[in-house]
Amino acid sequence: LSGAPLAQHRSIELSEDPSAPNFFVNGRQFSMGAPTFDTPAKVGTVEEWTITNTSGEDHPFHMHTDAFQVTAVNGIPAPYPHRQDTVIVPHAVNGTPGRVVIRQQFSDYPGLWMFHCHIAAHEDHGMMGYIQVNP
């Protein structure tokens, strides 16, 4: 996917409240009535997403429906061009968020595509979102 034209760039921030079991995607806890992004994706396109982690622990980011390609982790190009459905987003160090850049292809499945931290307790306490994918 590294040479594919990009339809859109998106940003995701993973964060948490260390004083309570509350976890967030883009500052919000999961709600089925509110997609993470106002603008839907479109089937047949490729997008580049930058996922940052401002917390003090790693978060395994997991995408449902179709795999993605990791292009960089903390600014270092990814060594393997294969597709995967989960990637560790490193924790913040000295106030600098961990950062992963992925390319997501929206193949031929319109509908709601879910993504979340793959640690069940984090997902259950709000670190989950979705994107609407239109035909």
Q: How far apart are the first and last CA of the chain?
A: 20
Q: What angle do CA 54, 58, 60 make, to 5 degrees?
A: 110
Question: Which residue type is seen at 10?
Answer: R
Buried b (16+ CB within 10 A) or exposed e, 6-44: eeeebebbbbbeeeeeebbbeeeebeeeeebbeeebeee
Whole-structure pTM value: 0.96
User: 3-35, pLDDT tens digit by residue?
Assistant: 899 999 999 999 999 888 899 999 999 999 999
User: 88-122, pLDDT tens digit by residue?
Assistant: 999 999 999 999 999 999 999 999 999 999 999 99
Query: Which carries the bigger pLDDT value, residue 79 or residue 101?
Result: 101
CATH number of 8-134: 2.60.40.420
